[in-house]
A = this chain, B = another copy of it.
Amino acid sequence: MRGQMKFGLNIPTRLVFGSGELKNIASLPLPGKHALIVISGGGSMRRLGYLDTLLDGLRQAGVESTVFDQVQPNPTVDGVERGADCARESHCDFVVGLGGGSTIDTAKAIAVAVAMNAPIWNFVAGGTGGGQPIERALPVVAIPTTAGTGTEIDLWAVISNEATKEKIGFGAPALFPAIAIVDPDLMMSLPPRLTAYQGFDAFFHAAEGYISRAHTPISDLYALEAIRLLYKYLPVAVNDPNNRWARIKVAWASTLAGMVESTSCCTGQHALEHALSAHYPRLPHGAGLIALSQAYFKTFKNDAMKRYMKMAEKMTQQKAARPSDFLDALATMQRECGVADIRLSDWGVTPDDFEALVETATATSQAMLDLDPRFLNREELIQIYSQAYK
Q: Which residues of B contact A6 (CB under 8 A)?
A: 17-19, 21
Tell me, yes or no, whether A217 is within 8 Å of chain B by CB: yes
CA distance A5 to B255 in the complex (A): 14
Q: Which residues of B contact A376 (CB under 8 A)?
A: none
Contact with B along A58-85 (1 / 0, CB 8 A): 0000000000000000000000000000
**A3, chain B: closest CB distance, angstroms:** 6
- Say whether, besides A217-B252, A221-B225, A14 and B10 are in contact (CB < 8 Å): yes
**What is the size category of the interface that chain A forms with chain B?**
20 to 34
Which B residue's beta carbon lies closest to that of A255?
B9
14 contacts between A and B (CB under 8 A): A2-B245, A3-B19, A3-B244, A3-B248, A5-B18, A6-B17, A6-B19, A8-B14, A9-B15, A10-B14, A11-B11, A221-B221, A221-B222, A221-B225
Number of chain copies forming the complex: 2
CA distance A79 to B101 in the complex (A): 51
A interface secondary structure, majority: mixed
CA distance A222 to B217 in the complex (A): 11
**A347, chain B: closest CB distance, angstroms:** 36
Which B residue's beta carbon lies closest to that of A2?
B245
Tell me, yes or no, whether A7 is within 8 Å of chain B by CB: yes
In the A-B complex, the 7 residue pairs with the closest CB atoms: A6-B18, A10-B14, A9-B15, A12-B12, A5-B248, A8-B16, A7-B17
CA distance A2 to B243 in the complex (A): 11
Contact with B along A244-270 (1 / 0, CB 8 A): 110010001000000000000000000
Chain A interface (Cβ within 8 Å of chain B)? Answer: 2-3, 5-19, 21, 217, 221-222, 225, 244-245, 248, 252
**A188, chain B: closest CB distance, angstroms:** 12
**A18, chain B: closest CB distance, angstroms:** 3
CA distance A16 to B13 in the complex (A): 18
CA distance A225 to B15 in the complex (A): 21
Q: Which residues of B contact A221 (CB under 8 A)?
A: 221-222, 225
CA distance A5 to B251 in the complex (A): 11
Q: Which residues of B contact A225 (CB under 8 A)?
A: 221
Which B residue's beta carbon lies closest to that of A1?
B245
Whether A10 pairs with B15 at a CB distance below 8 angstroms is yes
**A7, chain B: closest CB distance, angstroms:** 5
Q: Which residues of B contact A21 (CB under 8 A)?
A: 6
Q: Can you add 18 more A-B contacts, CB < 8 Å, to A3-B248, A5-B19?
A: A2-B245, A3-B19, A3-B244, A3-B245, A5-B17, A5-B248, A5-B252, A6-B18, A6-B19, A6-B21, A8-B14, A8-B15, A8-B17, A9-B15, A10-B12, A10-B15, A11-B11, A217-B252
